Amino acid sequence: MDAGLYSDTSAVDPLRDPSLYANRELSQLDFNFRVLAQAQDPQVPLLERLRFLCISCTNLDEFFEIRAGTLRHAQDLGLVAGPDGLPPAAVLSRIHDRAAELVDAQYECWNTVLRPALNESGVRVLARDNWSAPVAAWLRDYFRDEIMPVLSPLGLDPAHPFPKILNKSLNIVVVLHGRDAFGRDGNLAIVRAPRSLPRIIQVPEEVGGGPTDFVFLSAVLSAFVDELFPGMEVRGAYQFRVTRNSELLVDEEEVDNIALALRDELVGRGYLRAVRLEIAEQCPEPIVRTLLENFDLTENAVYRINGPVNLNRAVQVYDLVQRADLKFPPFQPRPLPGADSMFETVARGDVLLHHPFDAFTPVLEMLRQAADDPNVLAIKQTLYRSGKDSQIVDALVQAARKGKDVTVVVELRARFDEEANLGFADRLQEAGVQVVYGVVGYKTHAKMLLIVRREGARLRRYVHLGTGNYHAGTARQYTDLGLITAHPDIGNDVHLIFQQLSGLAPQLQLKCMLQSPFTLHGGVLRRIEREIAHALDGRPARIVAKMNALNEERVIRALYRASQAGVQIDLIVRGACTLRPGVPGVSENIRVRSIVGRFLEHSRVYWFGNDGEPELFCASADWLERNLLRRVETCFPILDPLLATRIREEALDNYLGDNLNAWLLQADGGYVRVERADGAEPHSAQACLLAKLCA
């Protein structure tokens, strides 16, 4: 890294040297190359490879909507560089170059690998030059009957200025020649595809000759756009798509009602500042310049596309094609014995759920049983993401209607779920639930459920704490850990946190748990320092942690000091990681690996060796600056030694042994795929858990 370009703070503390820190945005962008590698892997079932390709495209969309959009905002405000020393302008330039590489790799994978392989397997996504005469005729009729009636082409002239273009919508810019009925000269026109139109069209088997033949809507629009301009000559039709900043900026301290403010912001989200233009690669340069000028974008914001600009829509093919031979084998999550009487089961001992291998239904069952149980007095829960048709929300509504005291902390600012969260918040309030919108300035990202039940002469608290959201859908797609316990100290800690969220309680003294933004950051640092002390005294010292991302500078510096002291550190970080492992004299004892497989790795686990008396925590928080310092997060200990051992084996050691889906982070910030040693048995951590827990 060009550390010499920036102010030298290394003289004060050599561990602040910018060369020791990768850039968070660039590291996050590189994660998508690892996702794309799954699409390129011939060992992965073909339709799953298509799904991974589409995930990489969707991830890139979100990256531009959030990360690049935030960077442009930082550039406008003149914000200073982060620990890596790169100012926003430099990061944006590097993003363009790296994203261009990713886009080229995505379309190379689609055009030369996946599309031909799909065609050969009988799942044909027909390119325009491969349409047979019957297919072309059927598509023309489909265009006239199903598409053209909902289109509103707009010719550009002084009376018809450039229209507003919705974020990520499919559009065609058309080059026209001739005069229309009013004698106006043709020049350019815009055809916008309404979101009501399917982006993937299935061709009937009797027309195409195959049971699973598909065509992109963009190809149909480009082929028959001339029918929208009778009497004029269409000299070119080029699809394009603009991506806009989607980060909602609501100054919570300046609004009286955050829910109303968010509703207002959501109305205009699709038309915020543009950050990227995707355009057909053969589009003439003058038209590209016209589009860039209209969207107020520079040259480094344009990406020329060799294929459909909305390639991520090909994921619909995955959903439409029922071919078990081209997908991962189905699995049935392990049920929990005793789930039909959750309170009795949990009263006998803590319950650990490792999703998606363990079923999510025990959490739903506990809520349903609480709603019906006359001994249950109160239910309190946080909701960050729960889905539009949530059984969790159904159970909370039912509990309130049956007279329980129900309080729900709803985080309205869960990115891209704001509208859904507003909807179920309204529904909960209508049922009599007390809805709280968290704390001004701090997202409530904690995952907590508290049930207060009368048992004889006393009240007992039952708690669920998790690393993931209360979302039954993602519980089958993400790896997460959940603890259900009646431990009195944990129950009291959760009770106090809920009091703090719903009232105006002061900073708390918790017995077992760590909490952001108060004690979690310091708690992690103290435990790293403790391992350093063990190492300096000649005792074994070890840290193993699993998370989604890592960028908090003080934690990284502490890990560097630990490495220098001889602490052995293994980090399993799925996405962005700004720590550089393997730097001589700094991080030689740190290893960082990323696992990308069938399920999205989402669990957060921290293990500290503590000289033979290990501590193991699960958490809702990554070691990111925002999670540790600017969010409400929970970190909970696993007090049952058998469960702690199970988590250590399943979620840490198991992943450290993965030699099929693991990538190792290098000192230069790049990743290399783990190579299986000669004679070593192949080991996939996720496949191992499927075989062990779902057999």
Residues comprising the binding site for Mg(2+)? 385, 415
- E runs forming strands in 224-314: 233-244, 274-280, 302-305
Measured between alpha carbons, how far is residue 231 from residues 147, 186, 222, 226, 227 in Å? 20, 11, 17, 9, 9
Residue 600 token pair: 């999205």
Give me the residues paired with residue 636 across strands: 618
Name every residue whose Cβ is closer than 8 Å to that of residue 326 and which is 6 or more positions away in sequence: 45, 46, 47, 48, 121, 123
Measured between alpha carbons, how far is residue 142 from residues 86, 136, 194, 204 in Å? 52, 10, 16, 11
List strands edge to edge, sheet with 171-177.
154-155, 188-192, 171-177, 233-244, 274-280, 302-305
Q: How many Cβ atoms sit within 10 Å of the Cβ of residue 130?
A: 11
Q: Which residue has the tokens 């309080």?
A: 407
Q: CA-CA distance, 463 to 490, in Å (whole number)? A: 8
Binding-site residue set = 59, 385, 415, 478, 574, 602
Name every residue whose Cβ is closer than 8 Å to that of residue 154 and which is 6 or more positions away in sequence: 160, 163, 189, 190, 191, 192
Q: Do residues 620 and 466 lie in contact, with contact meaning Cβ atoms separated by under 8 Å?
A: yes
Q: Which residue has the tokens 């040297």?
A: 17
Q: Which residue has the tokens 């519980």?
A: 475
Q: CA-CA distance, 384 to 387, in Å (whole number)? A: 10
Tell me, yes or no, if 445 is annotated catalytic.
yes
Binding-site residue set for ATP = 59, 478, 574, 602
Measured between alpha carbons, how far is residue 410 from residues 166, 175, 388, 437, 621 in Å? 28, 49, 14, 5, 17
Give me the residues paired with residue 17 across strands: none
Name every residue whose Cβ is closer than 8 Å to that of residue 282 and which is 6 or more positions away in sequence: 238
Q: Which of 96, 354, 445, 487 is catalytic?
A: 445
Q: Do residues 608 and 635 lie in contact, with contact meaning Cβ atoms separated by under 8 Å?
A: no
Q: Residue 488, preceding bond cis, omega within 30 degrees?
A: no
Backbone dihedral region for residue 136 (phi beyond 0: left; psi -120 to 50: alpha; all else: beta): alpha
Burial 90-106 (b: 16+ CB within 10 A, else e): bbbeebbebbeebbebb
Give me the residues paired with residue 215 across strands: 201
Question: What is the C-alpha R_g of the chain?
Answer: 27
Q: CA-CA distance, 420 to 471, in Å (whole number)? A: 12
Q: CA-CA distance, 85 to 91, in Å (whole number)? A: 10
Q: CA-CA distance, 562 to 23, in Å (whole number)? A: 22
Q: CA-CA distance, 590 to 574, in Å (whole number)? A: 16
Q: Do residues 451 and 461 lie in contact, with contact meaning Cβ atoms separated by under 8 Å?
A: yes
Active site residues: 445
